[in-house]
Structure 1
């Protein structure tokens, strides 16, 4: 069986890296990098030693709109799918690469599998355009791999066929395990040294990790976030605040302008590499972010997270109490920050709540085993003639075991 795995952004590459490694042990696996976030993705490719078969280099630029990006991706993916004729297309998440990868697969009448299916914020423009991307992929996909029970229920509520939904956990945990096993601390220290962050700072002081890049936060919300960070850094001089800044020009301009004068314990860096991000997460006291992946990673590692958004599709983090939805509201940000610092028992309770929310790090193995199943292979081989074939009974064989 020939499987095409498509990614184009850093989160997709991270979460598909363990899947690719697992699938290549059993199947002919063709890796397609759309190039949507070319430089950021290349770091992941190098770190996990992923062999890429096609690099489409459809990179995002300041002058390229989302419609132009989608047009370029559709044209290039159509060319590649025509050349390789995959038996199955695998996409992950909710980006333009995810949507176009699934859409072109549908146009070629190839079955599509969606890793991290079923996430919903139920707000059309938050996050934008990701919420609608994942909803549309949900209609296009034939096999759905939701990470949590909540995500599975979302799919069922949208009348996705129950026999096509397989609860596997989140491959982000697999990636963390794999990443930790090959992490080189010396390289991490070398990278952070560029910003004046020494090993002594990292080991002797409490680390607060910050990221913010969502379109809905650009503008006044991001200014309010900057104000909160500066105030907290002044209130807690023994803490170190590390802001890994997204390369979006609008984000850089706002943060750089507002942080021209700042306390010495705030460090603004370029987007840190994935191994450095893992190291910082492993040693962080707290994370402030509007990133979806960081919500999952923080909870899985046991680090409380303040989510800088009005709504989140990772609702399990909030519902479990492993993190708190604070938007860009200074009062909320500072309230939860202070409480987590000052109430040690509360901090420990929050830290312990997220440990198993996203599975045990074997999601990639579950996906591989599912695709090895004879009934699933028949479904894929004879598709679309088997489009109405019922796969419900294979779950009784232990495929879905979360």
Structure 2
């Protein structure tokens, strides 16, 4: 460990994990007894995904290392090779930066690479959002693997804490402070409708649909089939203004992106696609949307906290905690249409004011920072397995 300030190193690979990490990073940055380190990798460095590294820099976070790992192609082979590149690059970055603690969020292959390098280099890891389930995606296995490679755990709900304990983790090292991404709702000024209209170029008259759809990576079906079903359902709402945010970098992304782009090009008067809106604009969009549609975790975490209905499509998020404002549906056009109509119905919307967030109240970041700052790291690497007695 460093002799002076404790070095806390955040590894971020996508716009999604950065949005959730933002306030924790800000808390560390503002503490004079801590040194913030930032490693940027993955889709952040790619033009195809909006080159969101520029957003991180504009937010005032100096970047200590850039690890270029993203290969062209979205096959399992390309993703595996990208993960290997991440391992090599992160090993070099860790050696140079000598962090005392690595902070990871989520369940993607970038986090898996970051955690395994930390293990081999004997650097403790703090993991955020462990214990969750998303049975339709590879993320499910990666998330639990990262839990076992980590030493501190910041979960978002009691159910998830119990699941981390089932994996044999020390109860004293598992903290439930809620989802840090919800801190934006209590600390970040969100843009209003006029600002979003100017940015999107759409009138944003009701109904407004916010749509994000990612590959269901454990599904053997061609991802274009489900994407076409989504578009077919959206076409049945000809008066809707639709804002799509870009597909993530998972295997199968290209086919989905192509279908969405074709729809937006054919319907420029009412549909737009953005590689990345940025966290503030994205949350502003959710706040004013009539329905959030797709299979992103933001439909289960942020949208319910904003009391906006979610149409959650297919199996990607199967197993996660879902508020009463979330409507599950199959990934065919008729089911999606039915779910959207239910979300728009007066009866369903009348119940939204009573909706309760299952992921905390937006006060996680200061509590996470305090644990990162004060936890004893001297004997943390050698973990005891705590049996879970059924």
The answer (yes or no) to whether the contact 2:43–2:51 under 8 Å persists in 1 is no
What residue is the counterpart of 1:32 in the other structure? 39
The answer (yes or no) to whether the contact 1:98–1:137 under 8 Å persists in 2 is yes
Alpha-carbon offset, residue 338 of structure 1: 1.8
The answer (yes or no) to whether the contact 2:208–2:242 under 8 Å persists in 1 is yes
Alpha-carbon offset, residue 214 of structure 1: 1.6
Among candidates 15, 26, 40, match of residue 10 of structure 1: 15
Alpha-carbon offset, residue 94 of structure 1: 0.7
Structure 1 residues 313, 45: CA separation in 2 closer, same or farther (over 3 Å shift)? farther
2:199 maps to 1:191: yes
The answer (yes or no) to whether the contact 1:146–1:167 under 8 Å persists in 2 is yes
Structure 1 residues 335, 313: CA separation in 2 closer, same or farther (over 3 Å shift)? closer
Find the aligned partners of 2:233 and 2:257 in 1 and give their Cα distance.
Answer: 17
Find the aligned partners of 1:304 and 1:144 in 2 and give their Cα distance.
Answer: 30
What residue is the counterpart of 2:254 in the other structure? 249
Structure 1 residues 187, 286: CA separation in 2 closer, same or farther (over 3 Å shift)? closer
2:335 maps to 1:332: yes
Among candidates 268, 272, 290, match of residue 272 of structure 2: 268
Structure 1 residues 31, 313: CA separation in 2 closer, same or farther (over 3 Å shift)? farther
Mind listing any 5+ residue stretches in structure 1 that lack a counterpart? Answer: 391-402
2:368 maps to 1:347: no
2:106 maps to 1:93: yes
Alpha-carbon offset, residue 208 of structure 1: 1.4
Q: What are the within-5 Å matches in structure 2 for residues 122-201 of structure 1?
A: 123=135, 126-127=136-137, 129-180=138-189, 183=191, 188-193=196-201, 197=202, 201=203
Find the aligned partners of 2:54 and 2:325 in 1 and give their Cα distance.
Answer: 29
What residue is the counterpart of 1:398 in the other structure? none
SS in 2 for 1:219: helix
Bigger mean CA deviation after superposition, 298-307 or 156-165 = 156-165
What residue is the counterpart of 2:3 in the other structure? none
What residue is the counterpart of 2:284 in the other structure? 279
The answer (yes or no) to whether the contact 2:69–2:82 under 8 Å persists in 1 is yes
Structure 1 residues 167, 388: CA separation in 2 closer, same or farther (over 3 Å shift)? same
Find the aligned partners of 2:35 and 2:261 in 1 and give their Cα distance.
Answer: 46
Aligned length: 364
Q: What are the within-5 Å matches in structure 2 for residues 204-353 of structure 1?
A: 204-216=205-217, 218-231=223-236, 233-234=237-238, 237=239, 239-246=240-247, 248-257=253-262, 266-274=270-278, 275-312=280-317, 315-317=320-322, 320-342=323-345, 344-350=346-352, 352-353=354-355
SS in 2 for 1:310: coil
SS in 2 for 1:325: strand
Mind listing any 5+ residue stretches in structure 2 that lack a counterpart? Answer: 1-5
Structure 1 residues 140, 148: CA separation in 2 closer, same or farther (over 3 Å shift)? same
SS in 2 for 1:58: coil
Among candidates 59, 79, 88, match of residue 66 of structure 1: 79
CA RMSD of aligned residues (A): 2.6
Find the aligned partners of 2:270 and 2:263 in 1 and give their Cα distance.
Answer: 12
Alpha-carbon offset, residue 241 of structure 1: 2.6
Bigger mean CA deviation after superposition, 283-292 or 155-164 = 155-164
Find the aligned partners of 1:288 and 1:213 in 2 and give their Cα distance.
Answer: 11
Find the aligned partners of 1:191 and 1:259 in 2 and give their Cα distance.
Answer: 16
